[in-house]
């Protein structure tokens, strides 16, 4: 008989943790640049910025108003780029398994919140999550105090584990003082992820979310 885990929250990043959306992001980013007569940049440079707020991505490569570029990005992304996405192998089965085992699941992403919801609806995984948090008026970044407050107030009696491929996910775990599961399905190596964690914080580095098990989860949770 499987055990139930009503007091453990698993909070996932989205891009390159659960889904591979590289094609859609690259196409949308360069569409925004070329629409405003700026040169397209290479795929590697775009990929290296994925996971930080979109405004910051554009500020790194152009002096043009990032709000204008973000608008063009989102127009293309909302109509085409958002559908150029796939779940990583084994992710759907793993999410269903974790949900059926009684864990609470959530998503925290740097993506615009309405876009994240739309993508997850397209992939038919939105119903598996208790919340989907992305960039909005209430949350600008993963280190936003409003996000920290939400997690601490809404899940005050839960053990929380942050799961993601990005250094910002490791930073969020550090700010919450909760365990971190880093996955190498994105573009950050183990050393980069661990550099954001304070000494003594429980963590584990895996190749994929599909490798997570109840045994792993409970090994990170301390009484």
User: Residues 33-68: pLDDT tens digits?
Assistant: 999 999 999 998 998 887 677 899 999 999 999 999
* C-alpha dist (Å) from residue 211 to 76, 95, 175: 34, 11, 25
Give the separation between CA 160 and CA 10, rounded to whole angstroms. 6
Fold for domain 8-20+86-220?
Rossmann fold (3.40.50)
Task: State pLDDT tens for residues 12-30.
Answer: 999 999 999 999 999 999 9
Q: What is the pLDDT of residue 1?
A: 36
pLDDT at residue 5, as a whole number: 54
Query: What does the alpha-carbon distance between residue 130 and residue 150 come to, in Å, rounded to a whole number?
Result: 13
pLDDT (0 to 100) of residue 2: 45
Class of domain 22-83: mainly alpha
pLDDT mean by block of 10 residues, the chain; 223 residues: 68 96 94 96 88 86 95 93 95 98 96 92 97 91 93 95 96 96 94 94 97 96 72
- Using DSSP's 3-state secondary structure scheme, residue 174 falls into helix
According to the model, what pLDDT value does residue 138 have? 87
Q: CA 68 to CA 35: how far, in whole Å?
A: 10
- For the chain, the domains span 8-20+86-220, 22-83
Whether 22-83 and 8-20+86-220 are alike in CATH topology: the answer is: no
């Amino acid at each position: 008989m499987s055990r139930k885990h009503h007091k453990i929250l698993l909070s996932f990043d989205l891009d390159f943790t659960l889904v591979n959306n590289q094609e859609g992001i690259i196409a949308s980013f360069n569409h925004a640049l070329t629409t405003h007569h700026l040169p397209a940049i290479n795929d590697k440079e775009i990929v290296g910025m994925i996971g930080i707020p979109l405004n910051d991505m554009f500020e790194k490569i152009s002096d043009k108003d990032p709000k204008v570029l973000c608008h063009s990005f989102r127009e293309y992304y909302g109509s085409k780029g958002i559908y150029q996405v796939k779940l990583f192998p084994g992710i759907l089965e793993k999410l269903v398994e974790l949900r059926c085992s009684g864990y609470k699941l959530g998503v925290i992403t740097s993506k615009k919140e309405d876009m994240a919801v739309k993508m997850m609806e397209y992939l038919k995984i939105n119903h598996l999550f208790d919340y989907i948090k992305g960039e909005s008026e209430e949350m600008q970044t993963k280190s936003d105090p409003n996000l920290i407050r939400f997690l601490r107030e809404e899940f005050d009696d839960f053990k929380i584990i942050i799961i993601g491929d990005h250094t910002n996910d490791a930073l969020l775990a550090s700010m919450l003082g909760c365990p971190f599961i880093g996955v190498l399905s994105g573009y950050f190596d183990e050393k980069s992820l661990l550099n954001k964690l304070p000494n003594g914080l429980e963590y584990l580095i895996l190749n994929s979310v599909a490798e997570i098990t109840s045994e792993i989860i409970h090994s990170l949770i301390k009484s």
